[in-house]
Structure 1
């Protein structure tokens, strides 16, 4: 069994009054989650916190397959609850991105909707494991620009999928092997707007676990900090 250590931090940033990001760490269940709310104060923060709270209610002691199904179900339940809340409030869109990582039996599963991301640093190389659900993602996937360039595009904030948006939630999934020495990063776009792939590779490659999350948030703040910033870094020992 791999031992996993982690460091998680969230910052409201320089421009926002409310932190609409939610961060959840369930180390006993090897589940970590970042959710970025949309819809403004009293809506975005409600949505992201609801997702985290529903996932936190997953029963302890489940076998890995059951736990993965419970994680997916918790996100789907959040989708339905947010839809009902938006209807009850009689207002526009309430929703949130989600990026959830679960580790078990030498493997990981990532579930996501929106543009919060999961990266993996392995042998000094960084890989983005998720693919943004955004208006500019198709430009990246078709080779017209890089993900770094997409972050600076005028439509970079236009996401095409989120929990609480649309009738049915379509979660993407990735799974793979976990190796000794792997370092995972889960983050909201408040970080990636200011940290290129090379910046992430360099910082994740050199900073110890105790300071790496704080250093990443410092980079986003120094870059402008216009959004909430949430970071989880996990080391596989």
Structure 2
């Protein structure tokens, strides 16, 4: 899906990959609110697809006339509602573990806001240089943040897939938030780890620099599929 407007263009796609039987990823684009989201249901747990789709369904119901100042507050409230709905379903299924990562981008005229839990990521490309805006809530992500691992080393770590936060899992939902400015020419990438397993920052930067908006999501998905496609993969690219 590629959509254009006078202010922003975006491309969004999710793919089941080459191995999984169910797509536990879900994506959401609400350009009228300046809001985009990627959610990755927890692999290996019952109901990961339920969790990610619950997040998307509840965010989809946000009022269409929210002001930019109200969007982030409403989104945080909606994620809390999704957290409780997922917990309720987990209890109904016999207290199994159900959860999903989330990374959310909200844009106003001059600023971006990011909310996230888990290891789905937000990047910004500015002046042909990529910056990771979010930080992974995972065992290896925290080791990287502490300077004990590099991202290259983290890729082969035995606990590489273990996340430490997710919507629906812990008693209290813990979300991180980051805010920054936006400039004409900025390009944002939201993605699940089904992409970053196969594409390092250098690869992402090269493609984000070179690819037009109507091809970029398909081309990034292709990187994951050509690499093996062992996981679901989701990509949203938003141009300023």
TM over 0.5: yes
1:114 aligns with 2:118: yes
TM-score (normalizing by structure 1): 0.96
Q: Deviations over 1:187-223 (max 9, x none)?
A: 0000000000000000001011111111111111111
CA distance in 2, matches of 1:58, 1:149: 40
Question: In structure 2, what is the Cα distance between the partners aligned to 1:20 and 1:149?
Answer: 27
| TM-score, scaled to structure 2 | 0.95
User: What per-residue deviation string (whole Å, max 9, x for no partner) do you get for residues 29-71 of structure 1?
Assistant: 1100000001558600000000001111110111222211000
Task: Extract structure 1 runs of 4+ deviating beyond 6 A.
Answer: none
Unpaired segments ≥5 residues, structure 1: none
Equivalent of 2:174 in 162, 170, 174? 170
Do the aligned residues in 2 keep the contact of 1:152 with 1:193 (CA within 8 Å)? no
Per mean C-alpha deviation after superposition, the further-off stretch among 120-129 and 135-144 is 135-144
Structure 2 residue aligned with 1:150: 154
What secondary structure does 1:158 align onto?
coil
Structure 1 residues 163 and 177: alpha-carbon distance in aligned structure 2, compared to 1, 3 A threshold: same
Q: Distance in 1 between matches of 2:7 and 2:50?
A: 33
Q: Kindly report the root-mean-square deviation, in angstroms, between the aligned alpha carbons of the 2 structures.
A: 1.5
Q: Does 2:53 align with 1:49? A: yes
Q: Which runs of 5+ in 2 are unaligned?
A: 1-5
User: Equivalents in 2 of 1:179, 1:106: separation in Å?
Assistant: 7
The answer to whether the 8 Å contact 2:111/2:179 transfers is yes
Partner of 1:93: 97
Compare 219-228 and 57-66 and name the one that shifted more: 57-66
* Count of residue pairs brought into register by the alignment: 236
Give CA-to-partner distance per residue, 1:57-100, whole Å, 9 cap, x none: 11011122221100000001100110111001104210000000
2:203 to 199, 215, 226: 199
> Alpha-carbon deviations, 1:140-184, whole Å to 9, x = none?
112222224323322111000000011000100001001000000
